[in-house]
Structure 1
Amino acid sequence: MTEVEKPAQPVKKGNPFAGTEGIYLLPHHIKEIERLRGQHRLILSSTGNTLLTAPIKEKKPRVLDSGAADGTWLLDLQRLYPQYEWSLHGVDIGSALFPHKSGPYESLDLHELDARAPAPSNLGWEGSFDLIHQRLLIWGFQKKDWPAVLKNQLALLKPGGWIQLVETQWVDRDHPFDAAQYPNLAKQTTLQTWSTDVSGMDIFIAYNLEDHLKELGFENVSKRDFVLGYGAKAKEESQNRPSADLWIKTFTSFGERWPEGGIPGVAKTKEEFYQFLEDLKNEVSEVGYAPKISYVIGQKPL
């Protein structure tokens, strides 16, 4: 986790989908906070307020959130699990989302770091954390980066400490959408697969996390799945339209970095793309979209 000096900025040259700082596919700036907080609330609603599945026994656990953004997950961890006296730490590739260190944020220790490289030795973090959490970075790392990222996190855990990885099976590899019945959801799969393929990312990482952890020597590896419902399949009826709107916001930035020739199988022009997003929003609101969100945990050997 190499410390970096500048906030993340949009990529201006090269592959328009290369992502922020050359690796992050989705927007990474202050405008993202609202969407990220909305996503967090939807996850809470869908999982019955479950933020933690790792069996933490320490009374004063030291936790690191990788991809912490504005610290929302850390603050809610403290709120929803008050039986612990948490020591809250977070890292992110860009500091643009970090809050001012005041009010409830005073308890957060946030650093701008690149998780693909080992953490700087001056932080003194090696072997110091009881829990490392990382969520929804499927569009944050290239496929080739995952082993190094997880190895770096293993080094930061105490013996017996836990890692918790939370990723979503955005594309169901076993049950694809019928294009005749769900034309826009089927086209969504094309978009998701294409966007990760051209950026070297792994749309199926949620299926592979257990194997990654076992290969690194983690023990007691297990997975717990929840349904992450959008639109008509949102767990709370009041979340139907808001969750459909939230889902579409995931893709709107693609139109701002439009690739020459368009997106194969999705749209040739920006206008076609934005119309597709509107049609997709309506389809999600009417029939729903319900991928599984996986909580995968593993324990560092004693």
Structure 2
Amino acid sequence: MVEVLQRRYYASEQYLLPADTTETARSVHHRVIVAAFANRLLLAPVELKTGNYVLESAAGTGVWALEFLEENKKKNVILNMDCVDISDKQFPREYPSNLHFSLHSITDLPTEWNSRFSYAHQRLLVAALNDELWRKAISEFFRVLAPGGWLELVEIEIKNAHWDVGPSSGKLTSLLPKLYGQKGCICDLGNYLPPLLRETGFVDVQCVARDSPMDPTGESGFVGWQWGDFWKGLTRAVMEAGGCGVVNSAEEYEKLVDESAMEWDDDPGKAYSTYYAILGRKPEPSS
């Protein structure tokens, strides 16, 4: 098992999940989130025009950016998009010339990007940022957005999760808040982020919640083994945290994940994830 763990690539010590080809294969998470929000790639009420700049933070494979670019192209809106991540392991090899990938952290974006973007999008950094880093990130978003520009953050609920449908999944679910807590990660971003956006200066702040059930057919949510892949990506972090008082070895942990996946599939719809879209607008200057 140690040998398996050594083959995974992790972009930083703070971020709990790996950033490698195995994680790239989990692009199903993108489809699940989009489906949860009625097949919409964004909820922000922003009207983009040709030539506008869009930022995607934590871009990963760029799957969201590529679809968003194409969706706007069909409406004859040609955007300029900057996609940033702290690792380039998942960046696509081919992409349109108006889509740019670069290595940057959302906590430290280029100085020349002041007031550059009409819209900024970021998903699923719950496993990466503590309070200090979230504050830096939101401040950077505010700086690089143009006046009137919108920010959209999509996150998953961890603190009050609904994945415990049996003894194994209950045991597994109890582990996650302990693990995230040891890293200082914020587990209830639906409550945490809106006040932080307002404190930073954003207006029209709102939080939209949507539930996505586990689905053994894969039509509307994760199949058990797919959600299990997410949990197995946490193996290194769980072991470094001493098993969080729940497991004693990587083998025991991954066996627990496999048993949980069977419970999720055996009781369709009972387990579900809650996703939040947190929106805010950078105000226009006072006239």
Distance 1:221 1:161 in 2: 12
1:133 CA drift (Å): 0.5
Report the secondary structure of 1:25's partner residue.
coil
- The answer as to 2:190 corresponding to 1:206 is yes
- The answer as to 2:139 corresponding to 1:151 is yes
| Letter paired with 1:152 | E
Report the secondary structure of 2:233's partner residue.
helix
Q: TM-score, normalised by structure 1?
A: 0.82
Alignment of 1:138-177 (within 5 A): 138-172=126-160
Alignment of 1:125-144 (within 5 A): 125-144=113-132
- The answer as to 2:54 corresponding to 1:63 is yes
Q: What's the counterpart of residue 95 of structure 1? A: 88
The Cα offsets for residues 77-109 of structure 1, whole Å up to 9 and x where unpaired, read as: 123343232221110011111122x3x444320
Structure 2 portions without partners, runs of 5+: none
- The answer as to 2:283 corresponding to 1:301 is yes
For the Cα contact (< 8 Å) 1:241–1:285, is it kept in 2?
Answer: no
Aligned residues: 272
| Residue number among 75, 79, 94 corresponding to 1:86 in the alignment | 79
1:31 CA drift (Å): 2.7
Q: TM-score, normalised by structure 2?
A: 0.86
Q: Give the stretch that moved more between structures: 272-281 or 283-292.
A: 283-292
The Cα offsets for residues 247-301 of structure 1, whole Å up to 9 and x where unpaired, read as: 1111213335663684134211222212111111011112242121111110001
For the Cα contact (< 8 Å) 2:130–2:186, is it kept in 1?
Answer: yes
Distance 1:216 1:29 in 2: 33
1:158 CA drift (Å): 0.3
Distance 2:70 2:210 in 1: 21
The Cα offsets for residues 38-85 of structure 1, whole Å up to 9 and x where unpaired, read as: 111222233221111111123223110000012111011123343232
For the Cα contact (< 8 Å) 1:24–1:141, is it kept in 2?
Answer: yes
Distance 2:29 2:264 in 1: 16
| Letter paired with 2:64 | W
Report the secondary structure of 1:31's partner residue.
helix
| Letter paired with 1:155 | R
Report the secondary structure of 1:275's partner residue.
helix
1:231 CA drift (Å): 3.1
- The answer as to 2:243 corresponding to 1:263 is yes
Q: What's the counterpart of residue 116 of structure 1? A: 107
For the Cα contact (< 8 Å) 1:46–1:229, is it kept in 2?
Answer: no
The Cα offsets for residues 92-130 of structure 1, whole Å up to 9 and x where unpaired, read as: 011111122x3x44432011012222x223xx2110100
Distance 1:223 1:239 in 2: 26
Alignment of 1:204-243 (within 5 A): 204-231=188-215, 237-239=217-219, 243=223
Report the secondary structure of 1:114's partner residue.
coil
Distance 1:106 1:289 in 2: 42
Q: What's the counterpart of residue 292 of structure 1? A: 274
Report the secondary structure of 1:164's partner residue.
strand
| Residue number among 14, 18, 21 corresponding to 1:23 in the alignment | 14
Distance 1:183 1:206 in 2: 27
Report the secondary structure of 2:115's partner residue.
coil
Alignment of 1:264-279 (within 5 A): 264-279=244-259
1:134 CA drift (Å): 0.7
For the Cα contact (< 8 Å) 1:169–1:207, is it kept in 2?
Answer: no
| Letter paired with 1:195 | L
Percent identical among aligned pairs is: 25
Q: Give the stretch that moved more between structures: 137-146 or 283-292.
A: 283-292
Measured on the aligned residues, the alpha-carbon RMSD in Å equals 2.4
Report the secondary structure of 1:264's partner residue.
helix
